[in-house]
Structure 1
Amino acid sequence: MTEPEIAAFDFSGLRATFVNCTLKRSPETSNTQGLVDISAAIMRKHGVEVDVIRAVDHDLATGVYLDMTEHGWERDEWPTLFARILDSDILVIAGPIWLGDNSSITKQVIERLYAGSSMTNAAGQYVYYGKVGGAIITGNEDGIKHCAMNILYSLQHIGYSIPPAADAGWIGEAGPGPSYLDPGSGGPENEFTQRNTTFMTWNLMHLAALLKRAGGFPVGGNQRTEWDAGARFDYPNPEYR
């Protein structure tokens, strides 16, 4: 496909939210944000409306309920952030590696997403059905695939659809070496990271557009509201075995 053909793609009408789970509050430089910016720029170039949330800048309570002020916490900004995420067709969870695993903020965001997973959409499916998820990981220690697996498993478990090659990341030399945006790190010039970030971004847009055109994820055998009403969608009745 030629560059003009690529340029002709228009994903207007799609909305993407990137949640940066860095431990650094604004305006401190976030290496994870450096990789988020690349993916977001590609999306914006093709008409996607992009929202970026740095979770640590917000007063998020710990817990697995949508509004933790109803469960003893004084403040909780999650309901506002949740509304922004729910309004999006694409969600990318981005974060650093610490001790070979996702950051504490990444874990917290996933727990708060889980809090909404029992909600249903207009079709009676779980509320994240028809939405697409991806992962971005940065760090200077091993663990990109481990961290991405955790994020992508969690997202699909609560209802997100995951396209091929839905993760991207960069790690420098193992140990206390340079981070992605540090001068001379080689991160922005790394072709493997460039390719994976680009492919992830395009695959997220393609799948989100397919689902949007289809009116969401296909309905049939997956409606919680119908199950609760007694439907069993061909699940075998033990009485007739």
Structure 2
Amino acid sequence: MTDLTLLVLNCTLKSSPAESSSELLGSQVLAAFAELGVTGAVERVVDHDVRFGVSTDEGDGDGWPALRQQMLAADILVMVTPIWMGQPGSVSKMVLERLDAELSETDDEGRPLTFGKVAGIGVVGNEDGAHHVTAELAQALNDVGFTLPAQAATYWVGEAMQSVDYKDVTPTPEKTDGTTHVLARNATHLATLLARSGYPAGG
């Protein structure tokens, strides 16, 4: 299939146009999927007025419903987050809280709307914690109905207690580039399979 679509949610704490390591990794993820014929976009969550909450729409100009519609229209979602104090960035946690609402949103056959959608993860930081952050996001994304492929995450972490960010590293480290392409290939493969044969109806 070549008509798969992708949404990359960049969960940096920095508003545009500030440079962001998460933005860089997200754009590299987008490019890796594009090589496989998957089209998509990167959205910086903080550029949308997303409210705290656990519903699909918190009202009063909430920016989440528009992002949610992009997510529901896409076959693949990749969340990219920085590490802060060994934890997923607060923006990514807010996104996961908003995704909790999908547990009560179902199709005509009783399946969550996220069933059949594939998720991936990107992590950047100049401290350790990439595996911990990946584990937290993977568990939450799976809980709300996304399917994760083998080796569903790509990441870069610099030397602990130093000041070098991913956006400062040139050229892109070979290992990170490799894992980004593995993520793209495996997620595309899985999304293709799920498009052909989805999950059974609930009941």
CA-based RMSD: 1.3
1:37 correspondence with 2:27: yes
Taking the aligned partners of 2:109 and 2:35, their CA distance within structure 1 comes to 32
Is this contact kept in 2: 1:117–1:159, CA < 8 A?
Answer: yes
TM-score, with normalisation over the residues of structure 1? 0.81
Taking the aligned partners of 1:83 and 1:43, their CA distance within structure 2 comes to 20
* Structure 2 residue identity aligned to 1:144: A
Taking the aligned partners of 2:172 and 2:41, their CA distance within structure 1 comes to 25
Aligned to 2:88, which of 85, 88, 102?
102
How many residues were matched structurally? 203
Taking the aligned partners of 2:69 and 2:195, their CA distance within structure 1 comes to 19
TM-aligned CA deviation for residue 13 of structure 1 = 1.3
Query: Unmatched 5+ residue regions in structure 1?
Result: 1-10, 227-241
TM-score, with normalisation over the residues of structure 2? 0.95
Higher RCO (C-alpha 8 Å, min separation 6): 2
Matches within 5 A, 1:142-181: 142-181=128-167
Taking the aligned partners of 1:16 and 1:117, their CA distance within structure 2 comes to 21
Taking the aligned partners of 1:29 and 1:122, their CA distance within structure 2 comes to 43
* Structure 2 residue identity aligned to 1:110: L
Partner of 2:183: 200
Partner of 2:36: 46
Taking the aligned partners of 1:176 and 1:112, their CA distance within structure 2 comes to 33
Q: Which has the larger radius of gyration?
A: 1
Partner of 1:26: 16
Secondary structure of 2:112's partner? coil
Taking the aligned partners of 1:176 and 1:75, their CA distance within structure 2 comes to 39
Query: Unmatched 5+ residue regions in structure 2?
Result: none
Secondary structure of 1:136's partner? strand
Partner of 2:172: 189
Matches within 5 A, 1:58-69: 58-69=48-59
* Structure 1 residue identity aligned to 2:188: M
Deviation by residue 1:171-228 (Cα, 9 ceiling, x = unmatched): 111113210111xx35x432221221111111110000111122x22x15xx1xx3xx
Is this contact kept in 2: 1:118–1:127, CA < 8 A?
Answer: no
Taking the aligned partners of 1:16 and 1:123, their CA distance within structure 2 comes to 25
Aligned to 2:64, which of 73, 78, 94?
78
1:111 correspondence with 2:97: yes
Moved over 4 A (4+): none
TM-aligned CA deviation for residue 75 of structure 1 = 2.4
Partner of 1:235: none
Partner of 1:231: none
Matches within 5 A, 1:81-92: 81-92=67-78
